[in-house]
Amino acid sequence: MNPAKMVSRLAAGTCNYAGAGRGGEPMYTQADIALAVGQVSERAGQLLVLRKWAGHWDAAAQAELNRLLLLRVVDDLAIPGRWSVRGTPGRLQAMIAAAIEEVVNPGVCTSCNGQGHALKRTEEGVVQLGCEACGGSGRMAVSGRERARRCGMLWETFRSPWADRYDAIMRLVDGLIVDSLYQIKRALG
């Protein structure tokens, strides 16, 4: 069972007329899936999953997610890492918004078609290897210059120390999604 595919069934345009699961797969209703999403322990994780797979996004959800992630970034990253953010109003918010967009709407890697791995023929047969182009993520790599542009910064300003901070924010957002999907999968049993 793929929890991301389950959450995508919450999208408004999704209809499922099948009466039963296939091959021993249980059939979940939208109410079952919504309940599982509601059981995710972090609200930011719920909002990220709903944004990415169900297309649930409005100004209130966006504002709430930005606020929750800003609190997490400040509490979990900026204060312990002693990030100096004085004199840079809105910079963290811009980085959070760019990280959300990069995670939610990733460009698909053209080398592996978003699979994160590639098949290679060898003398022994076909071997599955991690994709070198995307590092196994399945996402098209976004350059540091493009990230700087998305954050509204010049490359020279972004590359030190903001690029490392952006990477930390990306890890935080990715981690929230992974944890949320794990909790959804557990809740659906």
Q: DSSP secondary-structure letter at 30?
A: H
The predicted structure's pLDDT at residue 107: 82
From first to last of its 189 residues, what are the pLDDT tens digits of the chain? 788 888 888 876 655 545 445 555 668 888 899 999 999 999 999 999 999 988 888 889 999 999 999 999 989 988 888 887 776 768 999 999 999 999 888 888 888 888 888 777 888 888 888 888 888 878 787 899 999 999 999 999 899 889 999 999 999 999 999 999 999 999 998
Cα(116)–Cα(132) distance, integer angstroms: 9
Q: Taking the alpha carbons of 12, 18, 20, 26 in that order, is the dihedral positive or negative?
A: negative
The predicted structure's pLDDT at residue 1: 75
Count CA within 13 A, CB hemisphere, residue 104.
22
Cα(150)–Cα(163) distance, integer angstroms: 12
∠ CA 157-160-161, rounded to 5°: 110
Cα(188)–Cα(25) distance, integer angstroms: 12
**Burial class, 158, CB count within 10 angstroms (exposed 0-12 / middle 13-18 / buried 19+):** buried
The predicted structure's pLDDT at residue 175: 94
Global model pTM greater than 0.95: no
**Residues 157/148, Cβ–Cβ less than 8 Å:** yes
Cα(143)–Cα(149) distance, integer angstroms: 10
Rg of the chain, C-alpha, whole Å = 19
The predicted structure's pLDDT at residue 128: 83
